[in-house]
Amino acid sequence: MYSAAVLDHFKSPRNAGELADATVTVEVSNPVCGDILQLAVRLEGGHIAEARFKTRGCVTAIACSSLLTEVIRGKTLDEVRGITATQISEALGGLPPATVHGSQLAGDALEAVLAALG
Protein backbone atom coordinates (compact mmCIF):
# COMPACT_ATOMS: atom_id res chain seq x y z
CA MET A 1 0.00 0.00 0.00
CA TYR A 2 2.80 2.46 0.89
CA SER A 3 5.93 3.10 -1.15
CA ALA A 4 9.35 2.21 0.22
CA ALA A 5 10.08 5.95 0.58
CA VAL A 6 6.95 6.53 2.68
CA LEU A 7 7.81 3.63 4.96
CA ASP A 8 11.42 4.79 5.27
CA HIS A 9 10.42 8.33 6.32
CA PHE A 10 7.80 6.94 8.69
CA LYS A 11 10.09 4.42 10.36
CA SER A 12 13.13 6.75 10.43
CA PRO A 13 11.80 10.31 10.35
CA ARG A 14 14.34 13.00 9.60
CA ASN A 15 14.52 16.24 11.60
CA ALA A 16 11.84 15.31 14.13
CA GLY A 17 11.65 17.33 17.33
CA GLU A 18 11.79 20.85 18.67
CA LEU A 19 13.83 23.72 17.25
CA ALA A 20 14.62 25.98 20.20
CA ASP A 21 16.08 28.84 18.15
CA ALA A 22 13.45 28.82 15.41
CA THR A 23 12.76 31.98 13.45
CA VAL A 24 9.16 30.86 13.13
CA THR A 25 7.05 27.94 14.31
CA VAL A 26 3.62 27.16 12.90
CA GLU A 27 1.01 24.53 13.60
CA VAL A 28 -1.56 23.28 11.12
CA SER A 29 -4.16 20.57 11.41
CA ASN A 30 -6.59 18.58 9.36
CA PRO A 31 -9.91 18.77 11.20
CA VAL A 32 -11.31 15.81 9.25
CA CYS A 33 -8.72 13.23 10.31
CA GLY A 34 -7.19 14.99 13.31
CA ASP A 35 -3.58 15.08 12.07
CA ILE A 36 -1.49 17.92 13.51
CA LEU A 37 1.85 19.19 12.17
CA GLN A 38 4.09 21.66 13.94
CA LEU A 39 6.84 22.98 11.64
CA ALA A 40 9.70 25.13 12.87
CA VAL A 41 12.35 26.77 10.69
CA ARG A 42 15.42 28.88 11.33
CA LEU A 43 16.54 31.37 8.70
CA GLU A 44 20.17 32.35 8.26
CA GLY A 45 21.35 34.62 5.47
CA GLY A 46 18.10 34.28 3.55
CA HIS A 47 18.19 30.47 3.57
CA ILE A 48 16.36 27.92 5.67
CA ALA A 49 19.28 26.69 7.75
CA GLU A 50 17.28 24.26 9.85
CA ALA A 51 13.80 22.75 9.86
CA ARG A 52 12.20 20.47 12.44
CA PHE A 53 8.77 18.97 12.80
CA LYS A 54 6.48 17.34 15.31
CA THR A 55 3.54 15.45 13.83
CA ARG A 56 0.72 13.59 15.45
CA GLY A 57 -0.98 11.69 12.72
CA CYS A 58 -1.00 8.85 10.25
CA VAL A 59 1.88 7.18 8.41
CA THR A 60 1.76 9.55 5.44
CA ALA A 61 1.45 12.68 7.60
CA ILE A 62 4.67 11.74 9.39
CA ALA A 63 6.45 10.71 6.18
CA CYS A 64 5.45 13.92 4.37
CA SER A 65 6.54 16.06 7.32
CA SER A 66 9.92 14.33 7.38
CA LEU A 67 10.42 14.71 3.64
CA LEU A 68 9.37 18.37 3.74
CA THR A 69 12.10 19.24 6.24
CA GLU A 70 14.71 17.61 4.03
CA VAL A 71 13.46 19.35 0.90
CA ILE A 72 13.39 22.88 2.33
CA ARG A 73 16.69 22.88 4.23
CA GLY A 74 19.30 25.03 2.51
CA LYS A 75 16.81 26.69 0.18
CA THR A 76 15.75 30.33 -0.05
CA LEU A 77 12.18 31.37 0.62
CA ASP A 78 11.68 31.97 -3.10
CA GLU A 79 12.85 28.42 -3.84
CA VAL A 80 10.41 26.84 -1.38
CA ARG A 81 7.43 28.91 -2.53
CA GLY A 82 7.00 26.60 -5.50
CA ILE A 83 6.83 23.38 -3.47
CA THR A 84 3.37 21.82 -3.66
CA ALA A 85 1.55 19.00 -1.91
CA THR A 86 1.58 17.12 -5.21
CA GLN A 87 5.36 17.39 -5.43
CA ILE A 88 5.70 16.11 -1.86
CA SER A 89 3.49 13.13 -2.69
CA GLU A 90 5.39 12.41 -5.91
CA ALA A 91 8.76 12.62 -4.13
CA LEU A 92 7.55 9.81 -1.86
CA GLY A 93 6.55 7.65 -4.81
CA GLY A 94 2.91 8.70 -4.72
CA LEU A 95 0.39 8.35 -1.92
CA PRO A 96 -2.72 6.19 -1.85
CA PRO A 97 -5.80 8.39 -2.48
CA ALA A 98 -7.11 7.87 1.05
CA THR A 99 -3.87 9.23 2.52
CA VAL A 100 -3.03 12.13 0.21
CA HIS A 101 -4.11 14.44 3.03
CA GLY A 102 -0.63 13.86 4.52
CA SER A 103 1.00 15.81 1.70
CA GLN A 104 -1.71 18.49 1.90
CA LEU A 105 -0.92 18.95 5.60
CA ALA A 106 2.79 19.40 4.80
CA GLY A 107 1.91 21.89 2.05
CA ASP A 108 -0.34 23.81 4.43
CA ALA A 109 2.49 23.99 6.98
CA LEU A 110 4.89 25.35 4.38
CA GLU A 111 2.34 27.97 3.31
CA ALA A 112 1.87 28.98 6.97
CA VAL A 113 5.64 29.37 7.43
CA LEU A 114 5.89 31.53 4.32
CA ALA A 115 2.93 33.65 5.45
CA ALA A 116 4.46 34.13 8.90
CA LEU A 117 7.76 35.24 7.37
CA GLY A 118 6.06 37.70 5.05
User: With the C-alpha atoms ordered 16, 69, 110, 112, is the resulting torsion angle positive or negative?
Assistant: positive
Q: In which band, very low, low, confident or very high, does the pLDDT at 118 lie, cut at 50, 70 and 90? A: confident
Domain ranges in the chain are 4-117
Rounded to whole angstroms, the Cα distance separating 99 from 89 reads 10
Q: What is the pTM of this model?
A: 0.95
Report DSSP letters for 68-111, one per residue: HHHHHTT-BHHHHTT--HHHHHHHTT---GGGTHHHHHHHHHHH
Rounded to whole angstroms, the Cα distance separating 94 from 118 reads 31
Percent of the chain beyond pLDDT 90? 92
Express each pLDDT in 48-89 by its tens digit.
999 999 999 999 999 999 999 999 999 999 999 999 999 999
* Level-2 CATH architecture, domain 4-117: Alpha-Beta Complex (3.90)
